[in-house]
């Protein structure tokens, strides 16, 4: 059985550490994790947390839409990647944001995740840029 539900920031940490912070000195904790308008979602398979996403209120001046949210710390555990969990989780995240009146969602997408976001209807803004210790990224966005 697959279930998506709200979770606490601390529940995201093991997957963040394993999938997003492996072999780097950056913390698995992110600024904004504990803000009251931050939303953390987890996707569970038979009770096991297999994917996570954090949604934080953050704006880019280039986009005039308001309010805006940033996707942060999105990951699926290694043994469950490529099974559609990320797609389901992102769709649920977008639906929840849309229900809150959010008009724009954006992220700093790793180059390896570019095709995933493009298939989900996101567009690229600007050129590739480097995040220290993590690697090349694209700023991507989607109007909800």
Q: Which three-class secondary structure state does DSSP give residue 123?
A: strand
Q: Note the CATH number of domain 2-143.
A: 3.40.630.30
In angstroms, the CA 82 to CA 31 distance is: 28
The answer, yes or no, to whether residue 21 has pLDDT greater than 60, is: no
pLDDT in tens, 78-135: 889 889 999 999 999 999 999 999 999 999 998 989 999 999 999 999 999 888 877 8
Every domain of the chain and the residues it spans: 2-143
Please give the Cα distance from 25 to 28 (Å, whole number). 9
pLDDT of 37 > 60? The answer is yes
- What confidence score (pLDDT) does residue 97 get? 96
């Amino acid at each position: 059985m697959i279930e998506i539900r709200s979770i606490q920031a601390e529940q995201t940490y093991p997957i963040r550490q394993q999938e997003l912070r492996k072999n780097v000195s950056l913390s698995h904790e992110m600024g904004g994790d504990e803000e009251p308008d931050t939303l953390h979602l987890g996707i569970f398979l038979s009770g096991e947390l297999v994917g996570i996403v954090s949604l934080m209120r953050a704006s880019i001046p280039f986009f005039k839409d308001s309010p805006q949210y940033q996707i942060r710390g999105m990951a699926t555990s290694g043994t469950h990647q490529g099974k559609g969990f990320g797609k389901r989780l992102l769709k649920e995240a977008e639906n929840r944001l849309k229900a809150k009146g959010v008009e724009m969602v954006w992220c700093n997408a790793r180059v390896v995740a570019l095709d995933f976001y493009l298939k989900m209807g996101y567009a690229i803004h600007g050129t590739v840029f480097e995040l220290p210790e993590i690697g090349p990224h694209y700023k991507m966005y989607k109007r909800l």
